């Protein structure tokens, strides 16, 4: 087993076997809302603070001078009107040495309100340093009933020269962090995320972005396969359309050639054939001489009725002169 000591987000070291410290002092003590009187000093263990009537909880930020020391706060919730006692107890790493910082909280009219606490917090946010007491994580092998987080592959992790069993993200080519299975000071078993660059550790949790990346990574091969299939189908359709277009074009050319040859052949079959006229020809009229030469029987010119010789001669003369 390898024991990892974690202090906030700053360092991760192998737990030391040296003698435990007896330092039970605080390096910093802050309250909100309100202000400590007198000003904080690690050697002063008694303070006063005044809050308004709408304040029910006094926020305490106490940091131990020794990172291995434990800090507990009591009495800062459910504040009553008048005086309230808040105790900040620091237990040294040896587990025996303790120091208590007492804060007398007076809840009264005109004191700093809860809104002042929010304003002060917003004012102090910029440049505020985060820190926490040290925690020890003991790396262990997970049992058969423990489910490894999805998307991770087993690997051997080097932590300060110690080879331990851990898991790295499958899709990450440059491994920047890993997860390990361990037990905290309270005996709780859980997965922890270890930053390989900053050498920090924190309890592992599957954040939404990571879960989405894992889901996308799992779907990626299937999406690639579907994409390749669609590209293949598109290529086939494109080739088929091109072939169909060429066929249609060739058919049109063939039809044009056939029609052109048919017209030319009809013209060459009878080049000198005269096309009959729709207007009927007039029959030739006989010449005047032919009429004159034609013998007309005189008998036909005579009438059965009684005609004088002069009239007969005149009629004959008219017929002959026609």
Whole-number pLDDT of residue 286:
55
Q: Are 161 and 215 in a shared domain?
A: no
- 2 is a domain residue: no
Q: Are 201 and 240 in a shared domain?
A: no
Q: Is pTM beyond 0.85 here?
A: no
How far apart, in whole angstroms, are the C-alpha atoms of residue 152 and residue 210?
11
Q: Are 102 and 25 in a shared domain?
A: yes
Of the three residues 227, 245, 265, the one that is the final residue of a domain is 265
Whole-number pLDDT of residue 25:
93
Q: Are 179 and 213 in a shared domain?
A: no
Q: Are 189 and 174 in a shared domain?
A: yes
Of the three residues 222, 242, 265, the one that is the final residue of a domain is 265
Whole-number pLDDT of residue 171:
74
Give bridge partners of residue 48 from the DSSP assignment: 37, 104
Q: What is the pLDDT along the chain (322 residues), one digit of tens a residue?
A: 555 555 444 445 444 445 688 999 999 999 988 899 999 999 999 999 999 988 898 989 999 999 889 999 999 988 999 999 999 999 999 989 999 999 999 999 887 876 665 455 444 444 445 555 566 788 888 888 888 888 888 888 887 778 888 898 887 778 788 889 988 877 888 999 888 887 788 888 766 666 676 667 777 788 888 888 899 999 999 999 999 999 999 999 999 988 888 777 665 555 555 555 545 555 555 555 554 555 555 454 444 445 555 555 555 555 455 5
Classify 10 in phi/psi space as left (phi over 0), alpha (psi -120 to 50) or beta. Answer: alpha
Q: Are 217 and 160 in a shared domain?
A: no
75, 89 contact by CB (below 8 A): no
| Cβ-based neighbour number of residue 117 at 10 Å | 20
- 170 is a domain residue: yes
- 161 is a domain residue: yes
- 171 is a domain residue: yes
Q: Are 76 and 165 in a shared domain?
A: no
Q: Are 176 and 222 in a shared domain?
A: no
Residue 110 belongs to what domain range? Answer: 19-117+129-136
Q: Are 26 and 103 in a shared domain?
A: yes
98 is written with which tokens? 């303790």
Of the three residues 136, 165, 192, the one that is the final residue of a domain is 136
- 284 is a domain residue: no
Q: Are 105 and 188 in a shared domain?
A: no
Whole-number pLDDT of residue 117:
54
Q: What is the CATH number of the domain that holds 83?
A: 2.60.40.2340
Q: Are 199 and 212 in a shared domain?
A: no
φ, ψ of residue 28 in degrees (nearest 5): -155, 140
Q: Are 97 and 174 in a shared domain?
A: no
- 106 is a domain residue: yes
- 291 is a domain residue: no
- 319 is a domain residue: no
> Domains in the chain: how many in total?
3
Of 109, 112, 127, which is closest to residue 59 (Cα–Cα)?
A: 112
* Strands lying side by side in the sheet with 46-51: 46-51, 98-107, 82-91, 70-74
Residue 114's SS3 state is helix
134, 70 contact by CB (below 8 A): no
Q: Cα–Cα distances in Å, from 172 out to 22, 148, 152, 176?
A: 44, 17, 10, 8
């Amino acid at each position: 087993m390898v024991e990892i000591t974690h202090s906030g987000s700053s360092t991760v070291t192998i737990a030391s076997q040296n003698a435990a410290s007896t330092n039970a002092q605080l390096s910093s003590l802050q309250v909100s809302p309100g202000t400590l009187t007198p000003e904080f000093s690690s050697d002063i263990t008694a303070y006063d603070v005044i809050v308004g009537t709408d304040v029910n909880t006094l926020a305490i930020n106490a940091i131990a001078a020794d990172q291995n020391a434990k800090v507990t706060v009591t009495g800062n919730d459910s504040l009553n009107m008048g005086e309230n006692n808040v105790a900040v107890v620091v237990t040294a790493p040896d587990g025996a040495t303790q120091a208590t910082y007492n804060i007398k909280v007076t809840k009264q009219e005109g004191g700093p309100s809860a809104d002042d606490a929010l304003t002060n917090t917003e004012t102090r946010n910029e440049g505020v340093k985060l820190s926490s007491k040290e925690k020890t994580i003991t790396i262990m092998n997970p049992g058969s009933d423990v489910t490894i987080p999805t998307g991770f592959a087993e690997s051997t992790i080097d932590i300060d020269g110690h080879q331990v069993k851990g898991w790295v993200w499958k899709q990450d080519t440059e491994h920047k962090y890993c997860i390990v299975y361990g037990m905290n000071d309270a005996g709780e078993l859980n997965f922890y995320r270890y930053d390989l660059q900053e050498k920090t550790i924190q309890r592992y949790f599957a954040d939404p972005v990571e879960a989405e990346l894992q889901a996308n990574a799992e779907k990626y091969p299937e999406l690639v396969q579907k994409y390749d299939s669609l590209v293949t189908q598109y290529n086939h359709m494109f080739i088929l359309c091109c072939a169909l277009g060429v066929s249609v074009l060739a058919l049109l050319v063939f039809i044009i050639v056939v029609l052109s040859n048919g017209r030319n052949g009809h013209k060459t079959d009878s080049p000198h054939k005269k096309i009959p006229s729709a207007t009927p020809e007039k029959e030739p009229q006989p010449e005047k001489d032919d009429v004159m030469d034609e013998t007309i029987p005189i008998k036909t010119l005579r009438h059965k009725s009684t005609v004088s010789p002069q009239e007969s001669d005149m009629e004959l003369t008219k017929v002959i002169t026609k």
